[in-house]
Amino acid sequence: MRAVAVHEDVIVVVSAVWQTTCTFVRSDDEGFVIDSPVLPDELDALPTLIEQSHFPVSGLLATHGDWDHLLGKLAFPELALGVGEVTARRLTDSVGEPQRRLRDFDAEWYVDGRAPLGLADFQPLPTPGRISIGSATENELEVYPADGHTGDGIAFWVPWASVLVCGDYISPVEIPMISTESGGSFSAYQETLLRLAPLVQRATTVIPGHGNPMPKDLALQILSEDLNYVRAGSAGEKPELPASRRTSAQKRVHESNLAAL
């Protein structure tokens, strides 16, 4: 697990598994944890890391309902979890799915002794919308819909830090992943990228759901590649695998995407 401060009010933790990111955002005396790392020792280390960094934590947020982004509840079980309205419906309709997926991961990777993932007290967030943060300031997190990878999803814009936390989009290590079993589609993915493009243009740092935080120039390059990819898929054409991410794992994702055309 790596931790990097991209702004005095924003710390990003990158998991050793899938480079899943966890972002801490603060303003004055309030802070939020967005998404989560994956491994038990990484989750165990989060409270100490945040205490040492003098970051307040008053709530949890998740960009979407995939299990590897919901594990903040294991590190901070006393805190409520905020999710987008569509994610709230997804979790209500299949409340046991994240725990089953987590159990399958732990069995495959020989992880023992992890506590059950309890998600009963999540709170729906109006989308699009704003979340006030900090009692002595007027700072707000801006919430944008971000579906296409799955049928649910939100992204967070941190205006005072010029930081975009975009969930499973604009990744330096993953191509667009169209999870049709969870309601994803090429066309919705394209719409999300077009929606996020103005924010990327304004950003100093873009934090993807998987991969290290990026400066704007790199994020714009990946955004352009991903738009070309999903535009082809939206038109029913075979997209070309982005040259910068032609790993064996991404070739498998690509084949799965093609099967969804």
Q: What residues does each domain of the chain span?
A: 2-259
pLDDT score recorded for residue 25: 97
CATH of 2-259, one of 3.60.15.10, 3.30.200.20, 3.65.10.10, 3.40.50.620: 3.60.15.10
* 138 C-beta neighbours (distance < 10 Å), count: 9
pLDDT score recorded for residue 231: 97
Contact yes or no for 113/164 (Cβ under 8 A): no
28: alpha, beta or left? (left if phi > 0; alpha if psi -120 to 50)? left
Residue closest to 169 by CA, chosen among 154, 158, 159: 154
109 burial via Cβ count (<10 Å: 0-12, 13-18, 19+)? exposed
pLDDT score recorded for residue 95: 82
Residue closest to 149 by CA, chosen among 65, 259, 88: 65
pLDDT score recorded for residue 22: 98
Residue 18: both structure tokens together: 């899938």
| Torsion, Cα of 258, 150, 144, 213 (10° steps) | -70
Place of tokens 């982005």: 242
Per-residue pLDDT of 93-132, as tens digits, reads 988 899 999 999 999 999 998 999 988 788 999 999 999 9
pLDDT score recorded for residue 236: 93
The structure's pTM equals 0.96
Ranges of residues in the chain whose predicted pLDDT is under 70: 136
Angstrom distance (rounded) from CA 141 to CA 157: 6
